[in-house]
Amino acid sequence: MPPRLAHRKSRRGCLRCKERKVKCTEEHPSCAACLRHGVACEYGDTSRTSAVHEGTTSGTSLGTQRSRTVSRTTSELLQPTTTGQTANKSSSTGPPSGLDSPYSEVVDSLIADPLRPQIDLYLLHRFKSSVAASFPSAQSPLLKNMYVWSAVEESFDHPYLMNAIFAITALYLWVHDTFQMTSPPTHAATNLPESLKSVNFARLHRVYLNLAIGQEREALSAISPDNADSLGMTCVLLSVMSICLLSGTHLDDEGLAEYTPPIQWLTMAKGNEAVFIAAVPHLREGAIMNYLRTSSEPNFRDHSRLFDPHNALPFTKILDFRRQGCDYDWQTDSEPTNREAYAKTMALVGAMYDAVRAGEPSHYICMRCVSFATMVPRPFVALLASKTPRALVAIAHALVFLKYSDDYWFFRGRAEKELAGIRMTVPDDWQWALRWPLAVLADKENIKLDPRDYYDDWRANKMTETMADDLAHQFPL
């Protein structure tokens, strides 16, 4: 188990958690507690809203700026507001958020004026030259221009799409910069203009992401053929970005590292799916209609195939395992709704497993990973939020497919980070169920091997104990 960490209290929690005097996970755009309760998550002025530009220059300190952290739960995407309702939100108690302010007011307060045009132009340039080509849709001759041309053209009339483009490009630059420090540099990670090398792209990503979410929410009150395409493309970009919000660790009241499951990813993905479905009836001939018409593989419409119980056969032991002396856990997991949620989740995992073994192209596996969050049953999300061991083990099996597909930049490093937290949280009598996922982290080709051999083989147990120790040192919590 990881060593105890020194206790360190944080003052950066959201206003609701402070008011309730409970521990806050401090995630953006919404902490775990606010997501669980389906309420708005708002932060006051904290160090999270420090200047995007790392080098502090005269007149650019956020201590004297008027902006606030832009915070909204993704569930609000499903609650379209009228202009009047938006005004009422603005006058409610609590600090104003960036969503209540004009676009330029929020961003200008975070970026020094001389740099603003350069940053925006550079983000658009990198999106067209690098980011759009990194999506799995770029592998299709019929779809490869959807983001390079269609999305960019639409974005000039729809600010939420433009902000989503800026957000995902800033995230792309931050991820490549982070991994350049620990691995050989790639062509995409180098050659930042000298004037932009001090820009904090992680903070810039959060600013644009929250702007995109808020503006898209407002656009939902008036879905029409004029904005359905742009809403659909924004949903896809938000779905990709949500993967990088998977989870985090924080210190509990005793100073121990505590793992937060990827609830935010699953919740945000389901919100994006609902928006996409709402936009479909309004689509006319265009990028998204072409996408729906041509993207027949992998087939996500055939639920009888995706949720076929036979898919879960290699993972039967996970569904049937009963901890000794834990009758309450078994009773909870055996409730019909929960039992069905586990079975469907492992069937989805089994569908990905079968696809890999069948030699499906890598961009199809990538699409399956992104779509997993939209298809996983809602009761499973609640079980995962409760950190039931079976749910943690199930999500671990799903997340190792990110390792298999980590040639895609938005998956890079995510599986290792998640497995480190899950291994720390799962009780000792469930550790056997992590042998196969840990083996995949050691060598991604192990994903093609039969998980049952790892569950039952004591030699695999010894081998994965060593892997677990290596993981703990590589990704300390």
CA dihedral (194, 199, 200, 203) positive or negative: negative
- The mean pLDDT of the chain is 76
Report which of residues 64 and 269 the model is more confident about.
269
110: helix, strand or coil = coil
Highest mean pLDDT among 13-27, 200-214, 239-253, 435-449: 435-449
The stretches of 54-127 forming alpha helices (DSSP H) are: 83-90, 103-108, 116-126
Q: What is the pLDDT of residue 256?
A: 57
Q: What is the pLDDT of residue 377?
A: 94
Strands 248-251 and 257-260: antiparallel
* pLDDT above 90: percentage of residues in the chain: 34
Cα dist from 476 to 22, 41, 187, 457, 468, whole Å:
25, 28, 29, 28, 11
Statement: residue 214 has pLDDT above 50 = yes
Q: In whole angstroms, how large is the CA radius of gyration of the chain? A: 22
Cα dist from 40 to 37, 89, 103, 164, 273, whole Å:
9, 11, 20, 21, 20
pTM of the complete model: 0.71
Domain assignments of the chain as residue spans, ordered by start: 72-81+107-291, 298-474
Mean pLDDT of 8-32: 72
Q: What is the pLDDT of residue 16?
A: 80
Residues in the chain: 477
Tens digit of each residue's pLDDT (9 = 90 or more) over 226-273: 988 899 889 889 988 888 765 555 545 554 568 889 998 898 888 888
Closest among 122, 168, 128, 121 to 148, alpha carbons compared: 128
Range in 31-35, 390-394, 429-433 the model is least confident about: 31-35
What whole-number distance in Å separates Cα of residue 15 and Cα of residue 96? 12
CB contact at 8 A, 323 and 351: no
Paired tokens of 379:
């009761």
Going by pLDDT thresholds of 50, 70 and 90, the confidence category of residue 33 is confident
Mean pLDDT of 168-172: 93
First-last CA distance in the chain: 10
Report which of residues 247 and 35 the model is more confident about.
35
Query: 112: Cβ–Cβ under 8 A, 6 or more apart, which residues?
Result: 51, 53, 57, 60
DSSP assignment string, 430-450: GGGGGHHHHHHHH-GGGGGS-
Paired tokens of 448:
């093609």
Other residues' Cβ atoms within 10 Å of the Cβ of residue 428:
7
CB contact at 8 A, 305 and 351: yes
What whole-number distance in Å separates Cα of residue 222 and Cα of residue 235? 16
Query: 238: Cβ–Cβ under 8 A, 6 or more apart, which residues?
Result: 164, 209, 212, 213, 216, 268, 272
Residue type, 115: L
Q: What is the pLDDT of residue 344?
A: 97
